Amino acid sequence: MPSLQRVAAAVIPRPGRERLLSCVNLAYAVGRGVFLSGSVIYFTTVSGLSPTQVGLGTSAAALSGFVASFLCGAAADRLGARRMLVALFALQAAGFALYPAVHSAGPFYVLIVAVGFVEYGVGPTFGAFVGSQIVPAERVQVRAMLRTVFNIGFSAGSGVTALALLGGGTLVRALPWLSAALLLGAVLLILRLPRATAAPAAPAAGTVRRFGALRDVRFVALTALSAPLALHASVLLVVLPLWAVSRTDAPHALVPLLLVANTVVVVLLQVPASKGAETVRGAARLARRSGVWLAAACAVAATAAYGNALTASVVLGVAVLLFTMAELQQSASGWGLSHGLAPDHAQGEYLGTFQLHMVAQGVLGPGIVSAAALSWGAWGWAAVAVVVLVAGLLIVPLAAAAERGTTVGPADAPAPAKQLSGSV
């Protein structure tokens, strides 16, 4: 287990830019946790919508991510990541504030898709904003620390929602307003961060291509290979709970405890697990390693169907730890690959394109993996394991080819003299 000093270093950032970025991320995470953890209950009890309507709206919002991720990332490059992030947070706050006015399906679909579009645009925009504040050699470690902070904040927001649900209708009705207020607080914190003191190095004449990230075949292929390696998210949130409840003798109460364990391990280990991802080559090796962890987790999860309640519980606990190790390393590899292969003038566009692997696994992963596991049992888990192993093996040579073809150096290359320092 990591020492208390290491845990503190992962959670408490250095003064200056890193600490302010952490505060922004914390306010955003608590705001999302407050509403998203209780959104289904809110929409069905307060808005009067049916579960089917809520499910359709949520799926439509997820589909908007295919467009939002790239467009918002590209807009961040052209308008400035800071300005774009302020606009997205403000729009999201407005969307949450409008939810209390929604009591029928039509307006609900419109609003949830609009809010979903903005939410998916935040990821690449925030990544580009971090890139503008932190030197390349420190970006992966800062992103790891920010993810740790996000998990803490989201859990805290979920706790607030749990208390609100216990308190009754009035508190539940206040949840969207509380989320909106926290997002506006994040906007105020962004405005406290210093502006970039120098613009990124201008690209050579003739090298800028419209939709350059989407036309970068090797980068798009790398994004596609990253999708199966990110299936840990769908498995942990959807597939493993379904498997535990329908195919094993483990008690149903174990499922939320497994998710809590996952969150705790991510908080404790995300920063140390990210070491080595500062270079494109190192990030690719971490991605390959995450595929091995993910395949092993699938194999272990499959065996949970063959024991009694105690055995199944232990096996599922081990599987969650393996899935979490895959998550830690795949997340870190994604930061190293996306930042390291993105030209300075197109960080948002490249990060937005790379985020499509998470959008794809979020939309397709739950249905495909659930169907494979629940229909074919151990053979379904084996099929998933083979896919992720192949993806992990292919990603290293493909990342090397992508790095050779890009005009920027590895993610840990020394920053030009005119770039920002990591903190103030």
For 296, residues 6+ apart whose C-beta sits below 8 A from its C-beta are: 322, 385
Residues in the chain: 424
Chosen CATH of 1-196 out of 1.10.150.20, 3.30.360.10, 1.20.1250.20, 1.10.10.60: 1.20.1250.20
Q: Given its phi and psi angles, is residue 206 left (phi above 0), alpha (psi -120 to 50 degrees) or beta?
A: left
State both tokens at 242.
């379904």
Alpha-carbon distance of 123 to 58, in angstroms, equals 18
State both tokens at 313.
């519980």
Instruction: Name the pTM for this structure.
Output: 0.84
Instruction: Identify residue 236 by its one-letter amino acid code.
Output: L
- What pLDDT does residue 13 have? 67
Domain ranges of the chain: 1-196, 213-414
Chosen CATH of 213-414 out of 3.40.50.920, 3.30.470.20, 1.10.1130.10, 1.20.1250.20: 1.20.1250.20
- What pLDDT does residue 11 have? 59
- What pLDDT does residue 296 have? 98
- What pLDDT does residue 5 have? 58
- What pLDDT does residue 207 have? 52
Q: pLDDT in tens for each of the 424 residues of the chain?
A: 455 555 555 556 666 788 899 999 999 999 998 988 788 888 988 899 898 898 888 888 888 989 999 999 999 999 999 999 999 999 999 999 999 999 999 999 999 999 999 999 999 999 999 988 888 888 999 999 999 999 999 989 888 888 888 877 788 899 999 999 999 999 999 998 877 644 455 555 455 566 678 889 999 999 999 999 999 999 998 899 999 989 999 998 898 889 889 999 999 999 999 999 999 999 999 999 999 999 999 999 999 999 899 999 999 999 999 999 999 999 999 999 999 999 988 899 999 999 999 999 988 898 899 999 999 999 999 999 999 999 999 999 999 999 987 644 444 343 333 333 233 2
Q: Given its phi and psi angles, is residue 80 left (phi above 0), alpha (psi -120 to 50 degrees) or beta?
A: left
- What pLDDT does residue 122 have? 95
- What pLDDT does residue 8 have? 57
For 130, residues 6+ apart whose C-beta sits below 8 A from its C-beta are: 21, 139, 142, 143, 146
Is 213-414 the same fold as 1-196? yes
Instruction: Identify residue 212 by its one-letter amino acid code.
Output: G
For 368, residues 6+ apart whose C-beta sits below 8 A from its C-beta are: none
- What pLDDT does residue 108 have? 94
| CA-to-CA separations, 327 to 91, 95, 334, 350, 397, in angstroms, rounded | 30, 30, 10, 21, 21
- Which of 305, 345, 337 lies closest to 412, judged by CA? 337
